[in-house]
């Protein structure tokens, strides 16, 4: 009986370690995913900002004679 309890405790401890290791890996993957997402959003925002400025310059050129 005592050995069975010890075996169960060891198994529980291993499961807990595995759970924490897996959770840390998932956190790392999510961190990487959101860093990449943030980078892509910033790149798209820069691109849109450049397009807006180019459009403003074009409009200013079109209407500067008026």
Number of domains in the chain: 1
Asked if residue 29 is part of any domain, the answer here is no
Q: Given this model, what pLDDT does residue 66 score? A: 59
Residue bearing tokens 């959101």? 34
pLDDT at residue 64, as a whole number: 87
40 within some domain: yes
Quote the domain boundaries for residue 44: 36-66
Task: Give me the torsion for CA of 7, 10, 11, 13, rounded to 10°.
Answer: 160
pTM for this predicted structure: 0.67
Instruction: Write out the two tokens for 4.
Output: 């069975």
HEC per residue, the chain: CHHHHHHHHHHHHHHHHHHHHHHHHHHHHHHHHHHHHHHHHHHHHHHHHHHHHHHHHHHHHHHCCC
- pLDDT tens for 17-44 read 999 999 999 999 999 999 999 999 999 9
């Amino acid at each position: 009986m005592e050995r069975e309890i010890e075996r169960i405790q060891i198994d529980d401890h291993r499961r807990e370690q595995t759970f924490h290791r897996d959770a840390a890996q998932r956190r790392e993957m999510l961190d990487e995913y959101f860093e990449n997402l943030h980078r892509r959003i910033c790149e798209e925002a820069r691109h849109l900002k450049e397009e807006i400025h180019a459009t403003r310059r074009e409009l200013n050129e079109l209407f500067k004679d008026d």
